[in-house]
Amino acid sequence: MTGPLAVVGATGLTGRLVAAHLVATGQRVRLVGRRREALDLLAAQLPGPTEVRVADVHDPHALRAALEGSAAVCSTAGPFRRLGPPVLDACLDLALPYVDTSAEQPWLREAQARGDERARRAGVAVLPAVACEFAPSGAAAWIAQERVGPLEALDVRYRLDGFRPSGGTLASAVGTLDAPWVGHADGWRTADRRSLRPRAADDPDEACVPFPGGDEILLPPEVPTLREVRTWLVLPRAQAWSYALFAGLGRRLGPALGRETLAGLERRLGAGTDPDARTRAASRFRVDVEAQGLRGRCTVRVEGHDVYRTSAALAGTAATWLAQGRARAAGVHTVGAVLEAADLLDVFGPTGPTPRGLTWAIHAA
């Protein structure tokens, strides 16, 4: 690996955590952002070698200059629907491997359409959505395929406990309100018109609500046999109904509000207070991927704690591995298609080299 690992949006909550993870694992880091004072302060707080580059993502020349010479780029600058395109374009122009921490379905669709062919021509991997939701589910799908053969259908359930979103996360959620949900059924990408009415979950005190996941976007091109992907958010029953109401109103009001109004809401929410370290440490997540393959069924469960730190560690490790030349494919992909899925999850297991308390297991049908 030559050159540092660049972290775009380094002074935000997730950016700071990614930079801290990279330094802690012995990587050289380049901090990229808009504000010199904030970047210098972060560099002084990190106990390792760092570089600072000032660039606005909307200034293509400054951004390219800031990224040039990097070994790989990890972008945490959201909302990605608005800020993702110029960063991805700069990486593809420079033929740099790219990772981001997005959870915005519209951005994943755009990244795939915008970057897949260019990334293949450049011979680099683009891994969007490397965080504690879609990275575990993408890895779990490939682990399940090794067990049950070519995948035919996936039912994916995301669960968060004790999670308090950052200002950036809230801004990203609002920024997608005017975008249609997309599903994958009968082998085709479709407008997702599922009822938002919560359905029963395994725990009688919880319910599942349809959720616009990333698996419907990223997995089908990788697995041609995959006919259907369904994604759900698992919440306590009262919260599930509240979320269903919010999502339903968003489907109706988002397009009416318009992009300018939503952008204003994004900026206000993005300036909000982030959860403190104790609150973050108390958060937990679980991802269940129920897979139907040509040789049977199984469920792969991935679970852990500290949503933001685990997301940062996953993204930082993926960027490091890409910089080390460990990618198995070029183009826009899930982590499971490009990196060894089980190895990536094992890094953060209780006995792994970077323990984060993440565990995973395969359960037979």
Over range 152-166, report the average pLDDT. Answer: 92
Query: Tens digit of pLDDT for each residue in 106-122?
Result: 999 999 999 999 999 99
State how far the Cα of 351 lies from the Cα of 347, in Å rounded to an integer.
Answer: 8
In this prediction, residue 178 has a pLDDT band, given cuts at 50, 70 and 90, of: confident
Over range 139-147, report the average pLDDT. Answer: 97
Over range 255-273, report the average pLDDT. Answer: 60
Residue where one domain finishes, among candidates 305, 328, 348: 305
Residue for token pair 């033929």: 95
CA-based nearest residue to 90, from 70, 110, 106: 70
Kindly state whether residues 90 and 146 are assigned to the same domain.
no
For residue 205, tell me if it sits in a domain: yes
pLDDT exceeds 60 at position 262? no
pLDDT of residue 269: 53
CA-based nearest residue to 340, from 144, 151, 143: 143
pLDDT of residue 242: 83
Per DSSP bridges, beta strands 72-75 and 5-8 are parallel
* Of the ranges 198-207, 259-268, 331-340, the best mean pLDDT one: 331-340
Kindly state whether residues 151 and 280 are assigned to the same domain.
yes
| CATH code: domain of residue 209 | 3.30.360.10
Kindly state whether residues 119 and 25 are assigned to the same domain.
yes
State how far the Cα of 304 lies from the Cα of 313, in Å rounded to an integer.
Answer: 12
Kindly state whether residues 143 and 208 are assigned to the same domain.
yes
pLDDT of residue 264: 61
pLDDT exceeds 60 at position 266? no
For residue 94, tell me if it sits in a domain: yes
Name 41's Cβ contacts closer than 8 Å, sequence gap at least 6. none
In this prediction, residue 191 has a pLDDT band, given cuts at 50, 70 and 90, of: confident
Pick from 157-161, 226-230, 254-258: least confident = 254-258
Kindly state whether residues 154 and 101 are assigned to the same domain.
no
Beta strands in the chain (DSSP E): 5-8, 29-33, 50-54, 72-75, 98-100, 125-127, 151-161, 182-185, 188-191, 199-200, 206-210, 228-236, 284-293, 296-305, 331-332, 359-364
For residue 345, tell me if it sits in a domain: yes
Per DSSP bridges, beta strands 50-54 and 228-236 are unpaired
Kindly state whether residues 12 and 113 are assigned to the same domain.
yes
Q: Which amino acid is at 62?
A: A
In this prediction, residue 29 has a pLDDT band, given cuts at 50, 70 and 90, of: very high
Kindly state whether residues 331 and 230 are assigned to the same domain.
no
For residue 267, tell me if it sits in a domain: yes
* Of the ranges 245-254, 333-342, 353-362, the best mean pLDDT one: 333-342
Kindly state whether residues 284 and 146 are assigned to the same domain.
yes
pLDDT exceeds 90 at position 181? no
| CATH code: domain of residue 25 | 3.40.50.720
Angle at 184 between CA 341 and CA 238, to 5 degrees: 85
Kindly state whether residues 233 and 88 are assigned to the same domain.
no
pLDDT averaged over the chain?
90
pLDDT exceeds 80 at position 273? no
CA-based nearest residue to 348, from 307, 304, 308: 304
Kindly state whether residues 276 and 328 are assigned to the same domain.
no
Kindly state whether residues 157 and 206 are assigned to the same domain.
yes
CA-based nearest residue to 244, from 232, 258, 261, 260: 232
Total count of domains within the chain: 2
Give the gyration radius of the chain's Cα atoms: 19
**Domain range enclosing 149:** 134-305
CA-based nearest residue to 69, from 20, 6, 16: 6
pTM of the model: 0.93
Name 17's Cβ contacts closer than 8 Å, sequence gap at least 6. 308, 309, 311, 312, 313
